[in-house]
Structure 1
Amino acid sequence: MAKIFSPNTQYTGLSASILFVNGVGETSDPNLLEWFRDHGYIVEEETTEESVASNDEPDTPKPIEEMTLPELKEYAEKNQIDLKGLTKKDDILAAIQGASNGSVSE
């Protein structure tokens, strides 16, 4: 199952038959995934190798500077950091760093 991230992080509704809640939807349909990519959405697909690797690796947090946009959004959500109106990776990164005073809590 792949996660699809809407350019509008606040969007809740149906797009191309996929339900989005707070800018995130899910599907495994390859045609829809390609459509969303073509229309500016971020598609994060889980591969079998990633699943196996994530189970083998110790639970070491990734530095926020190395996180992808979807990872930053997930981090902010987990840590209750408000990203309202922010869509660019650099802006989101700055908001997270500002909220945590430059350090990532573990």
Structure 2
Amino acid sequence: MAKIHAPNKQYTGISASVGFAKGIGETSDTDLIEWFKTHGYTVEEESKKDSELNDEFMGLSVDELKAYAIENDIDIGNSTSINGIIKKIQEAKKKAGE
């Protein structure tokens, strides 16, 4: 997954089939990533390690992710969405050096 930063930091809408909110969109489509790079957007690509972590948790429910966090003593704060919980897990694993 790549985070796309629009030149207009306040842009909310759709560009090249990617939804943007406050200047930020996301896509994993490599062709679109290249398109954005050549059209003045800043692209923040996910590291391979982050991608592997996302794959590890793909398909898990919110309850399953919460259970994983509890079992591994990971504080997910107020996160309630799948993406938010996965982000907290990723941050904890990076901090632990995994």
TM-score (norm 2): 0.52
Structure 1 segments (4+ residues) deviating >4 Å: 50-54
For 2:18 and 2:47, the matched residues in 1 are separated by: 21
Aligned to 2:27: 27
Query: Equivalent residue of 2:10, what SS?
Result: coil
For 2:9 and 2:94, the matched residues in 1 are separated by: 32
For 1:35 and 1:7, the matched residues in 2 are separated by: 14
Q: Which amino acid aligns with 1:17?
A: S
Structure number with higher helix proportion: 2
For 1:56 and 1:26, the matched residues in 2 are separated by: 21
Cα RMSD, aligned residues only: 2.0
Query: Equivalent residue of 2:37, what SS?
Result: helix
Unmatched 5+ residue regions in structure 2? 54-89
Q: Percent identity?
A: 55
- Within a 5 Å distance, the mapping from 1:1-106 to structure 2 comes to 1-49=1-49, 55-57=93-95
TM superposition shift of 1:48: 2.5
Count the aligned residue pairs: 58
TM superposition shift of 1:47: 1.6
Unmatched 5+ residue regions in structure 1? 59-106
